[in-house]
Amino acid sequence: MSKDLTDLKVQKEVLIEGNPTFETITDNVSRVVEKKPGKIWYILFTISGSLTLMLFGILAFLFWEGTGIWGLNNPVGWGWAIVNFVWWVGIGHAGTLISAILFLLRQRWRTSINRFAEAMTIFAVICALLFPAIHVGRIWVIYWVFPIPNQMGMWPNFRSPLLWDTFAVSTYFTCSLLFWYVGLIPDLATLRDRATDKIKKIMYGIFSLGWRGGNKQWKHYELAYLVLAGISTPLVLSVHSIVSTDFATSLIPGWHTTIFPPYFVAGAIFSGFAMVMTLSLIARKAFDLEHVFTPKVLERMNIIMLLTGTMVGYAYSMEFFIAWYSGSEVERFAFINRAFGPYAWAYWIMISCNVISPQLFWFKKLRNSIPVMFIVSIVINIGMWFERFVIVVTLSRDYLPSSWDYYSPTIFDIGIYIGSFGLFFTLFLLFLRYLPMVAMSEVKGVLPEADPHHGGGH
């Protein structure tokens, strides 16, 4: 009964604008992949490809020389590598939220952005996984983090949050990839059936696995999709909670707090939505997909950013309150030092980007303005990077004043971070070039004529 009611509500709302038919949806989405990309694509691909090559170059030097090329010093043993790791993995969370949680809640407006957001998740997690891997220093023994029987007779320490991270993030990556691929199968079949040249036909043919769209296949497919959505849902909460335990289980003042897991998850969704927003605003402009990424979808994403941004702001103030309320001197010092110490500049960048800027979305006019949301979405991601930076550089003033030091990155830290953008955008551009960026079969499924009872069929 209640399901019927939600269906009714959805019917009233126009999810995809411009009254498209199934054929126009196929056309609009597929032609992006089928035609030769414009000059812009080649320019962007050259830039991001060169940055990726730069990344590989720096990584080679890093493996040769060791992590001494970074700006790490004695109190700050975790530098940009961890900041970037947490930042990238956080960005990934919006994709899973959109594809899994909103799917289970039957928020059908998600269909236009889910493919896109899931791709972003996968590429962001690839960038994220890079950083802990290179941070181990001796990458050639990275297999020690996996429980593989070895000649030393040693096993990994399953009590360590860093090991939880390995398991959580690699599971997250695998599940996201499978989920994404399952969603892609029917659309790859569409591209296969439309392909005119032989190589494309063979490649899309192989990757669509021989999909025939029969209901006997849809039956298993739909259940698999539902279950993958279901099991990805706890991952949205668990992965970043586990990432936060990297900090929270230590005894560092400013890190050792129970608020970390929920606060990290809210921050992850916040920054992830900002990234989806940035990318989809570019894509809808570049590929004329304004009727698919409708203003309504964008507005809802802004509301989610307002919500999670405010939650993050609440967490910042609660941290301060608890630092005072706990009566712990070192805890109090850690927080006063954050706001007024040598890194106060980073702290106030964080506050103004993360807490103040999303408040603009209280105004209907501003949250419907494309330039405003574009700028705010970028500002938010800058702010979220600084949030993790502020947390990590708390290390610079620990219990013992004699060991205090100021941390600053070297050119290699910066190069690897910029290079990870190169990797991300290279993958993203390849995705836009070769795969349908909107889930066609799902979008067709939410059109009014997809309903078998549409138009008085019964």
Gyration radius (Cα) of the chain, Å: 23
Tell me which of 67, 73, 238, 369 binds another protein, using CB under 8 A: 238
Of 365 and 458, nearer to another protein (C-beta) is 458
Cβ at position 450, least distance to another protein in Å: 6
Identity of residue 47? I
Identity of residue 282? I
CA distance linking residue 88 with residue 424, whole number of Å: 10
Tell me which of 228, 283, 315, 432 binds another protein, using CB under 8 A: 228
Residue listed under structure tokens 């029969």? 214
Of 166 and 310, nearer to another protein (C-beta) is 166
In angstroms, what CA-CA distances link 146 with 160, 163, 164, 242, 429?
Answer: 13, 8, 11, 17, 32
Of 72 and 443, nearer to another protein (C-beta) is 443
Residue listed under structure tokens 């004695």? 74
Tell me which of 37, 71, 205, 313 binds another protein, using CB under 8 A: 205
Closest listed residue to residue 268, CA positions, set 92, 85, 116: 92
Residue listed under structure tokens 């001197």? 329
Closest listed residue to residue 126, CA positions, set 161, 103, 95: 95
Q: Are 16 and 446 contacting, i.e. CB atoms less than 8 angstroms apart? A: yes
419-458 binders of another protein (CB under 8 A)? 440-442, 444-445, 449-455, 457-458
Q: Which stretch binds another protein (CB under 8 A): 224-232, 254-262, 421-429, 430-438?
A: 224-232
243-262 binders of another protein (CB under 8 A)? 245
Q: Which two tokens stand for residue 315?
A: 């967490």
Q: Which stretch binds another protein (CB under 8 A): 188-196, 283-291, 383-391, 394-402?
A: 188-196
Of 118 and 442, nearer to another protein (C-beta) is 442
Cβ at position 134, least distance to another protein in Å: 22
In angstroms, what CA-CA distances link 232 with 222, 225, 348?
Answer: 15, 10, 35
What does residue 328 show for φ and ψ, rounded to 5 degrees?
-80, 125
Q: Determine how many CB atoms are found less than 10 A away from the CB of residue 126.
A: 17
Cβ at position 127, least distance to another protein in Å: 20
Cβ at position 453, least distance to another protein in Å: 7
DSSP state of 249: T
Cβ at position 158, least distance to another protein in Å: 5
DSSP for 76-130 reads --S-HHHHHHHHHHHHHHHHHIIIIIHHHTT-GGGGGTHHHHHHHHHHHHHHHHH
136-155 binders of another protein (CB under 8 A)? 147, 153-155
Mark residues 14-33: x for contact with another protein by CB under 8 A, - for none: -------xxx--x-------
Cβ at position 173, least distance to another protein in Å: 10
Tell me which of 192, 367, 388, 397 binds another protein, using CB under 8 A: 192
Cβ at position 337, least distance to another protein in Å: 29
What element of type H or E holds 71?
none
Tell me which of 221, 264, 386, 417 binds another protein, using CB under 8 A: 221
Told to check if 190 binds another protein by CB under 8 A, we report yes
Cβ at position 266, least distance to another protein in Å: 20
Mark residues 157-176: x for contact with another protein by CB under 8 A, - for none: xxx-x-xx--xx--x--xx-
In angstroms, what CA-CA distances link 136 with 139, 244, 396?
Answer: 6, 18, 20
In angstroms, what CA-CA distances link 281 with 37, 238, 310?
Answer: 18, 29, 23
Cβ at position 251, least distance to another protein in Å: 12
Q: Which residues contact 330 (CB under 8 A, 6 or more apart)?
A: 253, 399
Of 214 and 371, nearer to another protein (C-beta) is 214
Cβ at position 103, least distance to another protein in Å: 13
Alpha carbon 227 to chain centroid, angstroms: 21
Told to check if 179 binds another protein by CB under 8 A, we report yes
Question: Total residues contacting another protein (rule CB under 8 A)?
Answer: 71
CA distance linking residue 306 with residue 39, whole number of Å: 36
Told to check if 227 binds another protein by CB under 8 A, we report yes
Told to check if 193 binds another protein by CB under 8 A, we report yes
CA distance linking residue 278 with residue 120, whole number of Å: 11
Tell me which of 219, 285, 403, 411 binds another protein, using CB under 8 A: 219
310-349 binders of another protein (CB under 8 A)? none
Cβ at position 77, least distance to another protein in Å: 21
